[in-house]
Amino acid sequence: MPRWPNQLYIDGAWVDGAARRTWTVLNPATGSVLESVALADAVDVDRAVQAARRAFDEGPWPRLDALARGRMIFQLAERIRAKLDDLAMTDTLNVGKPIRDTVGFDVPCAADLFESYAGLPDKIAGKCYGTLPDNVTMQFREPMGVIAAIVPWNFPLTNAAIKLAPILACGNTVVLKPSEVSPLSALMLAELAHEVGFPPGVLNVVHGTGAEAGTALVRHPGVDKITFTGRHQTGVQMLEAAKIGMKGVMLELGGKTPSLVFPDAPLDMVVNGVITGIFYNLGQVCVAGSRLLVHESQHDELMERIVAKVKTLRQGDPTDPKTQLGCLATPQHLATVNSFVERAKHEGARCVLTGSLSKDANNCFYPPTIFDRVTAPMTIAREEVFGPVLSVLTYRDEAEAVRLANDCEFGLMANLWTSDGTRALRVTRQLRAGRIAINGGGALRPNVPVFGYKMSGIGAELGYDEAVHEYTSSKAVIYSLATEKSPWPE
């Protein structure tokens, strides 16, 4: 069993919360207690922001040689790799993710993110506009300031790395608030950064509820920018809070990813891709492929093959390396997912695959569920379930497929499957989504940006040029070369 820090990490030190309150962190697969962690309130948030402010205004981090800053970030990546087993088991126990996934993706991806962005600091460049004979105008890119980073519970360590790697590479200081559900790996990450020798105040981790600590953080006048990943309803609140101090905002919000399968698609690839897209991490993924759009001519065959393969998936103890499906993160979220399922039945969708819910209130296992005969107006086709629930819709032609795919308030990602390269690019240009995967696409890459259309967000997550744009400030310097000036109004 890993050892977990249970205090707040502020200004380079482990401290208790001002009110001495704690939060009990549970294992959703068993209901057992993992740890009692200090709970931050507005006083603690203020301490963390002030520490980050001092570290930015007075400390060495923003002024550190770019290569030296990069080396420290790289060392953090190496520490993550050295702690792979403990970090993987932590997220498995904390949110019910199968150990095969945390070992195979979550922790390696977090290390890759820090390693990738370790090479960015000395590549941040400005511009020079030297077209006029009597002056030179330069544009500098400088660290932005104190960033408030708020992450959800579905990929605790990976989400933290997605935020921290570019923020730190650009020379900023940060206050990270993990979800109150899943703080353990974020606190371990702070411990690793401390071991590497990050200056005090550069990275602060405060664990608290969104209503209390989160609100205090985003409203704090010492914060220069808010970066948030989570529900779009909370994103709206972030925009409102950003008015205080005219903060910058970067939001990566919900999704309702459509998967368009065209008649010429390779069905073996489609079956695996569709199942992975919706049932990986039990659908608790912002880009989960929750809407399957199938041509009516291939509907029956594809459904038969998908249902048959899903029935072979193994769900159970997340710590068992053979387990493919773990559990949902909290009992509250299980109730939310189940309410979507019951509403879908009430609205007339046909449930072709599900299972019995456990009678043990201490665990959060939910069976993979598939609905057929779903229509665009149904709730299950429009709202983000964030669970292992697939909605299947049929279409008659390409135009209808595109219309159905775009008939949604979200636009984070879309998948399409076809052997026709011209069709793939033609349809891609019509889809209103910030990320398109053709025939599977591939896993998350640190250097590839994530954009959100419509209700799916503002700004870009990841990407080197995009990170520099999001986390640095631009300054124009107009340098006169003229030796004589005629002051106005002469």
Q: Give the span between the Cα atoms of 394 and 430, in whole angstroms.
A: 19
Active-site hit among 252, 384, 461, 470: 252
Active-site hit among 109, 115, 191, 286: 286
Note whether 228 and 160 are within 8 A (CB).
no
Q: Give the span between the Cα atoms of 145 and 147, in whole angstroms.
A: 6
Note whether 203 and 167 are within 8 A (CB).
no
Distance of CA 105 to the CA centre of its chain: 14
Other C-beta atoms closer than 10 Å to the C-beta of 148 total 31
Is residue 490 part of the annotated active site? The answer reads: no
Side-chain half-sphere exposure of 309, counting CA atoms within 13 A:
18
Q: Give the span between the Cα atoms of 254 and 384, in whole angstroms.
A: 7
Q: Give the span between the Cα atoms of 361 and 355, in whole angstroms.
A: 16
Residue 329, both tokens: 């993160």
Q: Give the span between the Cα atoms of 469 and 225, in whole angstroms.
A: 12
Q: Give the span between the Cα atoms of 288 and 286, in whole angstroms.
A: 6
Q: What is the CA radius of gyration of the chain?
A: 24
Is residue 252 part of the annotated active site? The answer reads: yes
Query: 45: helix, coil or strand?
Result: helix
Name the residues annotated as catalytic. Answer: 252, 286
